[in-house]
Chains A and B, each alone.
Chain A
Amino acid sequence: EAAVTQSPRNKVTVTGGNVTLSCRQTNSHNYMYWYRQDTGHGLRLIHYSYGAGNLQIGDVPDGYKATRTTQEDFFLLLELASPSQTSLYFCASRGGQDTQYFGPGTRLLVL
């Protein structure tokens, strides 16, 4: 099965803080995604990428930047974190037949 890892697994920051969430996949998948998961909203797409240097905007991009440095690595940046960005963040990569493989998630708390 496809392997997707995320770090850190838990993060606490203050309002206005700077946060970087990291994601790595080792399955040579082209597409990678960042989602946030909130009760009552399900999984919402923030940004995605189909290769190194590429970035596409998802459905809830405000307050987030992302960067895909290599085929394996995809980063999510919160430059001025706000309490509304407290959430569980998942990274995913897309393999064959449109199946997405999710990482273990990063729990972010913005105080």
Chain B
Amino acid sequence: GDSVTQTEGLVTLTEGLPVMLNCTYQSTYSPFLFWYVQHLNEAPKLLLKSFTDNKRPEHQGFHATLHKSSSSFHLQKSSAQLSDSALYYCAFASSGSWQLIFGSGTQLTVMP
């Protein structure tokens, strides 16, 4: 069945270092991939979403590339900031589906 996997539960790194959070998926049909971010005591909100035309989505310095060959949509940023500390969810929806399937989340902590 359809699923999404985030292998890291916790990621801790130093401010200024690059960020990469892993996301892989299994889907029978062409998926749309999403990254949601949830700061402490806030609701999850959309960070970025894959495009159907294979453009690379970017937002707030984060970007992600959908690689259908490896079924991945890793989240990257060249230089982490303290304000990036949050819980990050990868999610996907099959084309035409009503449901988002969420990964288990990765808690990112950026240290000074």
Q: Does B111 contact A (CB under 8 A)?
A: no
Q: Mark A35-51, 1 if CB is under 8 A from B, else 0.
A: 00000111111001010
Q: Which residues of the other chain, B, contact A44 by a CB distance below 8 angstroms? A: 102
Q: Which residue of B lies closest to A35 (CB)?
A: B102
Interchain pairs with CB closer than 8 A, number:
43
Which of A48, A94, A99, A101 has a CB less than 8 Å from the CB of B49?
A99
- Which residues 93-110 of B have a CB within 8 angstroms of A? 93, 97-100, 102-105
CB within 8 Å for A42 and B43 given contacts A31-B98, A98-B32 = no
Shortest B22–chain A CB gap in Å is: 15
Q: Does B68 contact A (CB under 8 A)?
A: no
Q: Which residues of the other chain, A, contact B32 by a CB distance below 8 angstroms? A: 97-98
Decide: B49 and A42 in contact? CB cutoff 8 A.
no
Decide: A42 and B102 in contact? CB cutoff 8 A.
yes
Decide: A43 and B43 in contact? CB cutoff 8 A.
no
Decide: A90 and B104 in contact? CB cutoff 8 A.
no
Decide: A103 and B43 in contact? CB cutoff 8 A.
yes
Q: Which residue of A lies closest to B4 (CB)?
A: A42
A interface residues, how many (CB within 8 angstroms): 20
- Which residues 82-102 of A have a CB within 8 angstroms of B? 90, 94, 97-102
Q: Which residues of the other chain, B, contact A100 by a CB distance below 8 angstroms? A: 46, 100
Q: Which residues of the other chain, A, contact B103 by a CB distance below 8 angstroms? A: 42
Shortest B32–chain A CB gap in Å is: 6
Shortest B73–chain A CB gap in Å is: 14
Shortest B83–chain A CB gap in Å is: 19
Decide: B99 and A45 in contact? CB cutoff 8 A.
yes
Shortest A103–chain B CB gap in Å is: 6
Residues of A within 8 A of B (CB): 31, 40-45, 48, 50, 90, 94, 97-105
